[in-house]
Amino acid sequence: MTARDEVLGRIRGALGGTGAAPGAIPRDYRSAAGMGPAEVLDRLSERLRDYGCRVYRVTAGEVPGTVAAALAERGARRVVVPPGLEPRWLPSPPPGTEFITDDGLSPAALDSLDGVITGAALAIAETGTIVLDAGPGQGRRVLSLIPDYHLCLLRAGQVAGLVPEAIARLRPGQPLTWISGPSATADIELSRVEGVHGPRTLDVILVADA
C-alpha cells in the first residue's frame, strides 16, 4: 500500500462512525469596516506610522517629486524598479540616482542595490498591511525582499478596511506577500530589532484618487 493510501485509510478509520458533520461555519465577525474613505486612509496611515514607516499623502501630480524626496531622505541611490510601474510616478533620476528596471537580476545583483520602488495589489487599514501580488509594477517577490529600502506607492482606492475585505479582493493563484512594517525580530530578550533579513526601512506614498 502506498503511504498516501495508508494515511487516507487511517483518517477514514479514525473518523468512522463519528456521526454527523459539524454544521455551517458561523461567520458573525465583521466583514467590512464601515468606515468612510477618508477614515480608512487615516487608519492606514496611523497603523503604518505605528510600525515606524514614513507615510506621504499626496496628489497624483506630487508623486514624482515625493519619490525623489523620499529616496534622497533615505540615501537610496541605486534603485530597482519592476516592469510595469506607472511611468508618470517616477521622477527623472536626480543626479547620482539610478533606476534599474528588473529583467531577472540575480539575488547577488539585488543585494548590491540600495532600494526598490513598487506598487501594490492593495492595503489593509485595520492592520497597516500592504499586499503585493507580483502583478505589473510589483515584480518578483525577491525585489521587495533583498534591497534594504522599500518605497511603496499606493492609490487610495486600493485601501481596504479589514482583512476579510482584502481576502475577497485578492486573486488566490498569485504569489502574495503581505507586508506589515519593516522586518523585525524580538528573539533576543524580546527587545525589538528592525531589519533582520528583509528591508530595514519601509515608506509609503499614498496617492489621492484623482
Chain residues binding other proteins by CB under 8 A are 2-4, 6-8, 10-15, 18, 21-23, 25-30, 47, 104, 107-108, 111, 124, 126-129, 134, 140-142, 145, 163-164, 166-168, 172-191, 193, 195-199
Cell (9 digits) for 129: 498591511
Shortest distance (Å) from residue 83 CB to other proteins:
11
- In DSSP terms, 98 is beta-bridged to 78
Q: How far is the CB of 210 from other proteins (least distance, A)?
A: 29
Name which of 91 and 164 has its Cβ closer to other proteins: 164
Nearest-approach distance from CB 7 to other proteins, in angstroms: 5
Residue 177 CB, shortest distance to other proteins, in Å, is 6
Closest CB to other proteins among residues 163, 208? 163
Q: Which is nearer to other proteins, 115 or 198 (CB)?
A: 198
Asked whether the beta carbons of 115 and 150 are under 8 A apart, the reply is yes
CA distances from 129 to 15, 30, 39, 41 (A): 39, 18, 16, 12
Give the cell for residue 31: 466583514
- Least distance from other proteins to the Cβ atom of residue 205, Å: 20
C-alpha distances in angstroms, 42 versus 47, 105, 119?
9, 36, 19
Q: How far apart are the first and last CA of the chain?
A: 63
* 8 Å CB contact between 80 and 100: yes
Query: Which CB sits closer to other proteins, 64 or 164?
Result: 164
What residue type is 68 in one-letter code?
Answer: A
Complex with other proteins: residue 65 or 83, whichever CB lies closer? 83
Which residues pair with residue 130 across a beta bridge?
A: 123, 179
Give least dist CB 5 to other proteins, A.
Answer: 9
Q: Looking at beta carbons only, is 67 or 154 nearer to other proteins? A: 154
Give the three cell numbers for residue 126. 485595520
